[in-house]
Structure 1
Amino acid sequence: MLDSLITSKTRIKLLCKFFLNPEARSYLRELADEFGESTNAVRVELNRLEKAGLLASETEGRTKVFSANTQHTLFPEIHNLVRKTLGIDQLVERVLSRIGNLHMAFITGDYARGVDSGILDLVLVGDIDWNYLQRLVSTAEEILKRKIRVLVLRTDEVEHMKDALRLDKALVVWTAEGQKGS
């Protein structure tokens, strides 16, 4: 959907990277390597987004590090647009409701870093109905046109798996308190 609104694939990748996970910080060469694009193509789009005020930057030594400008008035709308485009909101509604005693849901891996790799890594914490989950995931994969890998953990397992799953870099998409992650 974004590609019909925004013709630059590099700009779409940057918006996904920074607006899906607002804590993400990257520099030019790192982004060029991650996207498999030339530094010039990435530089042009970074400069455009920074000039528009959508990205903020700071210099660390000789490196200019970019991040989403969360203070920009359009930040919440772009954040939601990227989430909807990637299908995360549909996933939350279809897969996480009526699934069992769910405490929390995270997205890890590429999507948590803002990279649309086509594989969505989902970590669910709680006591889950596996049969129901498998049916929902199958349906969601057809709708989203993405592979969904699911890991279910008990609450006591989360602390032990935190480092291996890099949950410090994960995107919280749902909590038992009924609040979606930012």
Structure 2
Amino acid sequence: MLEQLFGSQTRVKLLHIFLINSDERYFVRELTRDLESQINAVRRELQNLEEIGVIKEVEGKEGNPKQNRKFYQADTKFVLYSELKSILQKSQFLLEKKFAKALQKIGRVYYLALTGFFVGNKSLPIDMLIVGKLNKKKFEKLLKGFERNFRREINYTLLDKEEFDYRRSVADRFLYSILDSEKIVMIDEIMNTFGQVADKEEKNN
């Protein structure tokens, strides 16, 4: 079964999409476009994953004009669902760590926190808070590459240190809605910590 699950790069990418975004539904051409892969290869891997039981065929979303298309979604009742998702979450953390290191090479970063999508909280206004000064063009290029890993746009706020300090001093509501929420802190020179996984690990323990 493991050979079937991890037999190709396309399959691994599909597993990441379905298991990290387990409440989402996808159709074949949508996945083909996002993975930049051949449609026959995507169809073949979807069939393999469906036969194994990792994904299942579902109806389209209500009100969706493309509802008659065949949609797929992760099957959370699959016997190895939790184990596979855990493996992919660990892989995601490695991507996040790599992003943090790359970010430090294109500017001065005092603080980087991942929240929102990264901690499964859709109610938060952003997915990433950065405090520092970055090369804008290099950052946009880096962010686009990071977004491709997750097949989604990442909403972020970038503050220079002076603005961050000011907002913190006046108890800015937006800033504290992020600082007081669940988050993964990757860089924190403001609090003299680095690579701390805040709140998330504590919650899991």
The TM-score by the shorter chain falls in which range?
0.5 to 0.7
Report the secondary structure of 2:116's partner residue.
strand
CA distance in structure 2 between the aligned counterparts of 1:177 and 1:51, rounded to whole angstroms: 34
Instruction: Check the 8 A contact 1:28/1:42 in 2, yes or no.
Output: yes
Find the counterpart in structure 2 of residue 167 from structure 1: none
Q: What do you get for the CA RMSD once the two structures are aligned?
A: 4.4
Q: CA deviation at 1:57?
A: 1.3
Out of 170, 179, 182, which is 2:203 matched to? 179
Find the counterpart in structure 1 of residue 87 from structure 2: 81
Higher share of residues assigned strand: 1
- Can you give the 5+ residue segments of structure 2 that lack an aligned partner in the other structure? 61-66, 102-109, 121-125, 133-144, 148-153, 159-163, 185-197
Matches for 1:1-182 after TM superposition, within 5 Å:
6-60=6-60, 61-87=67-93, 91=97, 105-107=115-117, 122-124=127-129, 151=157, 156-157=173-174, 175=199, 178-179=202-203
Report the secondary structure of 1:57's partner residue.
strand
Find the counterpart in structure 1 of residue 189 from structure 2: none
Aligned pair count reads 131
**Cα–Cα, structure 1 residues 47 and 33, in superposed 2: closer, same or farther, change >3 Å?**
same
TM-score, scaled relative to structure 1: 0.53
CA distance in structure 2 between the aligned counterparts of 1:39 and 1:72, rounded to whole angstroms: 25
Over 6 Å off, 4+ runs: 146-150, 152-155
CA distance in structure 1 between the aligned counterparts of 2:92 and 2:201, rounded to whole angstroms: 24
**Cα–Cα, structure 1 residues 179 and 21, in superposed 2: closer, same or farther, change >3 Å?**
farther
Report the secondary structure of 2:22's partner residue.
coil
Q: Quick check: which has more Rg, 1 or 2?
A: 2
CA distance in structure 1 between the aligned counterparts of 2:42 and 2:24, rounded to whole angstroms: 16
Q: CA deviation at 1:78?
A: 0.5
Q: Which amino acid aligns with 1:105?
A: T
Q: CA deviation at 1:17?
A: 0.4
Higher relative contact order (CA 8 A, sep 6+): 1
